Structure 1
């Protein structure tokens, strides 16, 4: 296995592990890759048990030259001219700590990341305002929703990772087919939402034994980026899928060779999710405990002082509209098409579903989400 393949395998395993642990009745969208690279960056400064715990949770125990692998993967993913993918990781460190020059240099080398020095201890609100303003400026206003609860007087080190994607569908959803329709929540409550519609030839798979259907929605002309919508047959079936999904299943469900091209009518709700998640408790449940402990953390390669990780904040914005993940100005007209054929089947995502966005050349999972209510 090459270094790049090892990194992708680690990311995809980490994605599934997160999916199993993320329990919520709210809409969720995560970029596991941004979180993984952020934690791999912290792992550069970890030693002994703190390091071994982190590597186990991140699935990088047996990976050699792991940091160059992340650098190569991020370079491959961000060089496309068909979409814009921006992933950034920043460490915000309490100003009373002396950060190792070696750590600063290698974090720039492998992750193009800088450490921001802030006054958590004496001015927590000002530190939070600095973080929000810094994020707003660096991400052109995409992220402004970081909670004030993120920081307090005891905060020592906060890792903030951000991700956003600009991409257009290969086949856009004609605006003329968007209509208000009923969406059934997992509680069986009915609500109205804007549903987008399109007819065309798409990859689809129906798995009767597992009571779900999967549709593939590609982006761009090259279709290197694809969204997979995993829709349970029942309105309340998403929780069972989420808790029981395995690495092997996720790879199988996102394998185009297991799908069948079909002339189909698709209905998908318009949605926009702006998420800000504190991942500390989730990562603890996954087995990464010492790095968050004031008495057990060993980040001596970052600072010789008693430094521990206060939190990991994952900020992601995701929008699915008629154009794609976010509206992008295009010279192409939104062309519908006439067909004398009737659709062979209908895929109607009118109840909670899972979605995954994957880079096809590397098979790397970029985004994982749950859409549970409009």
Structure 2
């Protein structure tokens, strides 16, 4: 297995772990890749039990040259021609801490340098500085973190953002967007704007899981795609995610099991923006020492007593007629297909989850659930 393949597998294993940990009744959007990069950034400075816990949770315990692997993966993603993926990670560190030069130099893999802020003497100013960084890096999507996050005892706050610009291979004509009913997990029906399109799409039905899968590619090359995982019943989503494994998700998104059919697709018009405090989630997954002021060991960052106050993970996804964001349109129709009768209908009118995958590397870039408008 190459280093790139090992990094991708670690990311995809971590994706499933995160999905199950965050399984609930709310809409979710996160970038496992962005989160794992942020954690690897601080893992560079970890030692002893802290380092061992992080490597275990990130599935990199036996992965050599992990940081070079991340560099190779990001080169593939950042140099793609048909989509733009922006991932930013920064450590905000208390200004009185003396950061080791060796650690600063090692961050070349992540194009990131720790920023010093006055957590101790001016926590409000530090908060405003971080919020300004968030507004800039997220293209104005996110602007403010919870005020309770920062105090004069804060040592390190790690922030990561993920932002995608991409267009569907086949856009959804705007004139076809209409109001339909969406059935919530409690069987309540609510109105929602539903896009629709007809074309050849890859589909799969998994009877044992009571699950249908739709592949929605981006761009002419289709190197990036969104897989919609739609349970048969409106209240089945929690169970499907709870029972999901790495092997199952890998199989569900395997193109050799898909069948291309001329299909009428109905998809909710949705936009989800989220900012998560990952401290409790990461602690529950097996790395509590990272956030413990008496147990954390980050002596490769500084000889001062450091611990991570929180990891803030931010992501946004927008499924509209064009794609994830407003960029130049790609092909809007398939010409001769207008003369064909649809072989199938895929109506996403109940809770579902999705992954956005970079197919050349098999890397899951985003994961999300849609529970309600």
Same fold (TM over 0.5): yes
**Residue 31 of structure 2 corresponds to which residue in structure 1?**
31
**After superposition, what is the alpha-carbon deviation per residue over 1:336-356, rounded to whole angstroms, capped at 9, x for unaligned?**
746232211111110110010
**Residue 187 of structure 2 corresponds to which residue in structure 1?**
188
Distance 1:18 1:69 in 2: 21
Distance 1:333 1:9 in 2: 33
**Residue 354 of structure 1 corresponds to which residue in structure 2?**
353
Residue pairs, 1:217-256, within 5 angstroms: 217-256=216-255
**Residue 49 of structure 2 corresponds to which residue in structure 1?**
49
**After superposition, what is the alpha-carbon deviation per residue over 1:209-253, rounded to whole angstroms, capped at 9, x for unaligned?**
110100000000000001000000000111001111000001001
Residue pairs, 1:191-202, within 5 angstroms: 191-202=190-201
Distance 2:245 2:81 in 1: 33
**Residue 141 of structure 2 corresponds to which residue in structure 1?**
142
Distance 2:145 2:109 in 1: 26
> Which runs of no fewer than 5 residues in structure 2 stay unpaired?
none
Task: Give 1:154 deviation, angstroms.
Answer: 1.9
**Residue 216 of structure 1 corresponds to which residue in structure 2?**
215
Distance 2:332 2:253 in 1: 27
**Residue 21 of structure 1 corresponds to which residue in structure 2?**
21
Distance 1:272 1:169 in 2: 15
Stretches of 4+ aligned residues off by more than 6 angstroms: none
Distance 2:144 2:268 in 1: 23
Distance 1:359 1:85 in 2: 11
**Residue 90 of structure 1 corresponds to which residue in structure 2?**
90
Going from structure 1 to structure 2, the CA distance change for 1:328 and 1:145 (only over 3 Å counts) comes to farther
Distance 1:295 1:366 in 2: 34
Distance 1:236 1:81 in 2: 39
Task: Give 1:147 deviation, angstroms.
Answer: 2.2
Task: Give 1:187 deviation, angstroms.
Answer: 1.4
Residue pairs, 1:283-302, within 5 angstroms: 283-302=282-301
- Partner SS state of residue 20, structure 1: helix
Distance 1:146 1:353 in 2: 28
Task: Give 1:334 deviation, angstroms.
Answer: 3.6
Contact persistence 1:145–1:276 (CA under 8 A): no
**Residue 106 of structure 2 corresponds to which residue in structure 1?**
106
Distance 1:24 1:34 in 2: 21
**Residue 160 of structure 1 corresponds to which residue in structure 2?**
159
**Residue 172 of structure 1 corresponds to which residue in structure 2?**
171
Contact persistence 1:88–1:162 (CA under 8 A): yes
Please tell me whether residue 130 in structure 1 is matched to residue 129 in structure 2: yes
Contact persistence 2:203–2:213 (CA under 8 A): yes
Task: Give 1:135 deviation, angstroms.
Answer: 2.0
- Partner SS state of residue 262, structure 1: strand
Contact persistence 1:174–1:336 (CA under 8 A): no
The total of aligned residue pairs comes to 372
Distance 1:333 1:41 in 2: 39
- Partner SS state of residue 208, structure 2: coil
**Residue 5 of structure 2 corresponds to which residue in structure 1?**
5
Going from structure 1 to structure 2, the CA distance change for 1:20 and 1:139 (only over 3 Å counts) comes to closer
Distance 2:137 2:344 in 1: 45
Cα RMSD (Å): 1.2
- Partner SS state of residue 204, structure 2: strand
Please tell me whether residue 58 in structure 1 is matched to residue 38 in structure 2: no
